[in-house]
A and B are shown apart, each in its own frame.
Chain A
Amino acid sequence: MNNPVVERELTGMLRRGRTLAAQVIFASVLAAAVVLAWPHGGNVSLTGAQSQQVFRLFSYALLLGAIVIAPAFPAVSLVREKQAGTLALLLNSPLTPRAIFGGKLLGAVGFVLMLVVLSLPAAAACYVMGGVSLTGEIVPVYLILIAASIQYCAIALYMSLRARRVDGALRLAYAAVFVLAVLTMVPAEFTQGSMFTSLATAGDWVGAMSPLATMAGVLGQSVLTNAGTLTTSHTVAFLVISLCVTLLFSLLTIRRLGQRLFDQPRAAGKITDDRSGGVRFFRRVMYLWFFDPQRRSRLTGPLANPVFVKELRTSRFGRSHWLMRLVGLCLVVSLGLMLAAAYGAASAGSHVMGMILVLLQVALILLITPGLAGGLISSEVESGSWQLLQMTPLSARRIVTGKILSSLWTLFLLLLATVPGYLAMLVIDTSEAARVGRVLTALAVTALFALLTASAISAMFRKAATSTGTAYGVLLLVCVGTLGIWQGRGTLFGFQAVRAALLINPLAATLAAIGAPGFTPYQLIPANWYIMAVAGALAVGVMVVCVWRLTKPQ
């Protein structure tokens, strides 16, 4: 290998103990799934239903793994080099930006591909058991996996180059992946069956950007309601789109990866109060005064928790103008859904719209919360500012309260902006009021659980990237991973096993609250809420203990 960056990235990653642990755990879980499905006592399913079930389960698990793992390493790669000053050294070497980018991409993709290779024996076992087609299922599934991994690595590298901080890079990378993997499935829900053929085709093309929908199509299933109609041509479409997206982000990264990266002026620190009367008046009207980013902030009030105020000021989404932009976006999406619900209610039914809303809101929680709370404590420890906090008279309780409240406030405003969508449900069917109430409660429980879990994880690590990545992993495992067991209901897992798995899943409880098919028989509410309350309390306890330990002298 001639590229030293590839060697450094790949060998650096393989040297870590946790990489080996991840590989071992991954291979063991796949082996366990195959063992579980392997015919016992001479009972062989001639239809191959059981092996199909295992293959589906592990295909989704692999895809979820790729979605979670692929962006994690490249998202922190370039931003860390920038922070450590080693990117300037790399750019000052004879290595071209293309070689640096190529090395980083190959290093990141290499690790994900290793995991994919580790899954081949399990896939082969499914094939041997029968019921799974090599060309119709196994090859397309692996092609989707590889294409999605490369695509997300390329996107994450671009985000890493754009971001100034590690947690910001992770947030941007996962947001982009979420948009491409999940949100792209939504338009097809509304456009399929439309009288305008071109609209339906556009919806199909957008849907083909999602590896989830494409894989569902390959496996003959549906993730939402219409995604199951995707065909083999969509697999090809996905591969082509994926290649285009990869090329686009690669070019953007290589173009940006040059000496120009460091040739930027420092922020001037303009303040509206110091500018001419005309400009001052214009900005005050334009930004309604309160939302002006160049407004001189008032001093922290006597009753305010200084940590709360500091968190809102330092977090990009905490600043009022950014928060309002995000809230506005959520409001627009929500109203768009409301409109779509009003038009499509006759064909799809209000509960389908409700289900989409719930999925979007939970996805928003899963996307935003680890980014908001996953680095609350660890980023302070990593940057060295924790020492300064320690030197203030602030107690551990006050620090924890301020930090949690700051994230809760942002999350609350964002979720509030999505609530109008439910008005549509109530307008269509007023008898839905009780159900909407249950759903909103379940969403609040989900948000709190996600927030407290991510906050607790942030206090357990010393690096923001590790804690944020772990928070994403844990929440996805709880909310999406347990759905894998639900997928195997009736064939691999019995009723009680599925119920036990779903009881710890707040997403399942919310879907049950909205009456989504497949979830209602398990009676998850209110047991799930109690479990979430206990888990949340435990998370707060863990966080307080960890922060208290951090505030104590060494």
Chain B
Amino acid sequence: MTQAPDLPVVKATDLTKKYGAFTALDKLSIELLKGQILGFIGPNGAGKTTTIKILVGLAKPTAGEAYIVGCNCTTESKKIKRLVGYMPDTFGAYDNMRVQEYLDFFGAAFAIPRKQRRTRIDWVLETTGATHMRDLFVESLSHGMKQRIGIARTLLHDPPVLILDEPANGLDPTARVEMRQILLKLADMGKTLIVTSHILPELSRICNVVAIITGGKLRAFGSLDTIMHDLRQKRLFEVQLAGTADAAAAAARLSDLLGTSVPVEASQVEGLLRFSTTLADEELAHVLRELIARGVMVTQFREVQQDLEDAFLSVTRAAAEQDRLAADVPAPAAGGAVS
């Protein structure tokens, strides 16, 4: 199935999934274009797997809709199976089966003709760098090898979308680099990838789109640059004090200069002050001058470069705070309204 390149390959609108009173997923909306790699980030139990299961047609949403290449994930699950290559977080090995037999089974299940299947098996093994594993028994493979075979399996029927649940989980650094190269190669082929992972530095190297989800809610979604830019609006700074300086007193003086709404963290052991601010460089230069003028012994004043991990932590902390505040809101009085 082909479609215009500017149309989203994956589209989810207000996806909601409830298990009884528990909301696993709350109005999640995402869109992905051809060749994009989405890094789907969230803590355990955030709703990542639920979203994936809905997208691959293994679960029905309570509300909302999801489409892959224009096919509805709920009502057209048969078509979805041919459009998506799904690698769950468990490998699903069959004992007593060699790699070629394993791939042959899934190829036959997708009704790939025998001659074409042979070529496909060769191709997927080569693409994933697993040709030498062809005759090995699946159960005897190491974790990294299994991950490669798992990806090879998802590629067998040449789907436009690949959904990989924790593909880098448990891999050693070399295998992780190789896995990254495989995923980038697949994106180059025009495949759209959705990748979940806890290894955020790894994701930041391959993803061009990021979705951060916590408590079933999508907290941030967009290109990696956009998210990092949004985050940069509040920059993190560190002030290194001279060895004997009183960090608590210095923090109080700095807090006076920044305004009480900006919390300043102080670490006496490290001799360090830390704060986040939206102030411009000129204003910060003024703060530094004042701080020194007030007798604080400063040896360094620096901006901390932030990465995806910081973005994730920042977004999840903000989300937790938001949820806490929402929980603290008193119930409205009868006949009243909450603005």
Residues of A within 8 A of B (CB): 164-165, 266-271, 274, 296-297, 299-302, 304, 306-307, 309-310, 313-316, 319, 383-394, 553-554
Q: Which residue of A lies closest to B104 (CB)?
A: A299
What is the distance, in angstroms, from A166's C-beta to the closest C-beta of chain B? 11
What is the distance, in angstroms, from B117's C-beta to the closest C-beta of chain A? 6
**Cβ–Cβ contact A165 & B95, under 8 A:** yes
Q: Which residues in window 62-93 of B have CB below 8 A to A?
A: 74, 77-78, 81-82, 84, 86, 88, 90-93
Q: Which residue of B lies closest to A398 (CB)?
A: B109
Chain A residues, CB < 8 A from B88: 384, 387-388
Complex A-B, nearest 10 residue pairs according to Cβ-Cβ distance, in ascending order: A385-B92, A306-B108, A384-B90, A269-B136, A392-B109, A300-B108, A266-B140, A267-B140, A554-B59, A310-B105
Flag whether B316 is at the interface (Cβ < 8 A).
Answer: no
Given A316-B96, A553-B57, 14 new contacts (CB under 8 A) = A164-B95, A266-B140, A266-B142, A274-B135, A297-B101, A299-B104, A306-B105, A310-B101, A313-B96, A319-B96, A387-B92, A393-B110, A393-B111, A553-B59
**Cβ–Cβ contact B92 & A388, under 8 A:** yes
**Cβ–Cβ contact B140 & A269, under 8 A:** yes
Chain A residues, CB < 8 A from B12: none
**Cβ–Cβ contact A299 & B77, under 8 A:** no
Query: What are 17 of the A-B contact pairs (CB < 8 Å)?
Result: A266-B136, A274-B135, A296-B135, A297-B98, A297-B101, A299-B108, A299-B117, A314-B95, A314-B97, A316-B96, A384-B91, A387-B58, A387-B92, A391-B58, A391-B81, A393-B109, A553-B58
In the assembled complex, the Cα of A252 lies from the Cα of B87 at a distance in Å of 41
**Cβ–Cβ contact B74 & A553, under 8 A:** yes
Which residue of the partner chain, among B56, B60, B94, contacts A314 with CB atoms under 8 Å? Answer: B94
Chain A residues, CB < 8 A from B110: 392-393
Chain A residues, CB < 8 A from B90: 383-384, 387
Flag whether B114 is at the interface (Cβ < 8 A).
Answer: yes
Chain B residues, CB < 8 A from A314: 94-97
Chain A residues, CB < 8 A from B59: 553-554
What is the distance, in angstroms, from A550's C-beta to the closest C-beta of chain B? 11
**Cβ–Cβ contact A385 & B93, under 8 A:** yes
In the assembled complex, the Cα of A268 lies from the Cα of B132 at a distance in Å of 12
| Of A271, A274, A306, most B-chain CB atoms within 10 Å | A306
Residues of B within 8 A of A (CB): 53, 56-60, 74, 77-78, 81-82, 84, 86, 88, 90-98, 100-101, 104-111, 113-114, 117-118, 135-137, 139-142, 153
What is the distance, in angstroms, from A467's C-beta to the closest C-beta of chain B? 17
**Cβ–Cβ contact B60 & A554, under 8 A:** yes
**Cβ–Cβ contact B56 & A391, under 8 A:** yes
Chain A residues, CB < 8 A from B78: 393
**Cβ–Cβ contact A300 & B136, under 8 A:** no
What is the distance, in angstroms, from A73's C-beta to the closest C-beta of chain B? 23
In the assembled complex, the Cα of A309 lies from the Cα of B142 at a distance in Å of 25
Which residue of the partner chain, among A165, A309, A383, A390, contacts B108 with CB atoms under 8 Å? Answer: A309
Which residue of the partner chain, among B53, B60, B101, B106, contacts A313 with CB atoms under 8 Å? Answer: B101
What is the distance, in angstroms, from A296's C-beta to the closest C-beta of chain B? 7
| Of B90, B113, B153, most A-chain CB atoms within 10 Å | B90
What is the distance, in angstroms, from A326's C-beta to the closest C-beta of chain B? 15
Known: A553-B60, A554-B53. A300 touches B114 (CB 8 A): yes
Q: Which residue of A lies closest to B78 (CB)?
A: A393
What is the distance, in angstroms, from A79's C-beta to the closest C-beta of chain B? 12
Which residue of the partner chain, among A304, A315, A383, A394, contacts B92 with CB atoms under 8 Å? Answer: A383
Chain B residues, CB < 8 A from A268: 136
In the assembled complex, the Cα of A301 lies from the Cα of B108 at a distance in Å of 8
In the assembled complex, the Cα of A304 lies from the Cα of B101 at a distance in Å of 14
Known: A302-B114, A313-B101. A392 touches B106 (CB 8 A): yes
What is the distance, in angstroms, from A202's C-beta to the closest C-beta of chain B? 38
**Cβ–Cβ contact A393 & B82, under 8 A:** yes
In the assembled complex, the Cα of A386 lies from the Cα of B53 at a distance in Å of 14
**Cβ–Cβ contact B106 & A388, under 8 A:** yes
What is the distance, in angstroms, from B111's C-beta to the closest C-beta of chain A? 7
Chain A residues, CB < 8 A from B58: 387, 390-391, 553-554
In the assembled complex, the Cα of A394 lies from the Cα of B78 at a distance in Å of 9
**Cβ–Cβ contact B135 & A269, under 8 A:** yes
Chain B residues, CB < 8 A from A392: 81, 106, 109-110
What is the distance, in angstroms, from A380's C-beta to the closest C-beta of chain B? 9
In the assembled complex, the Cα of A164 lies from the Cα of B93 at a distance in Å of 13
**Cβ–Cβ contact B136 & A267, under 8 A:** yes
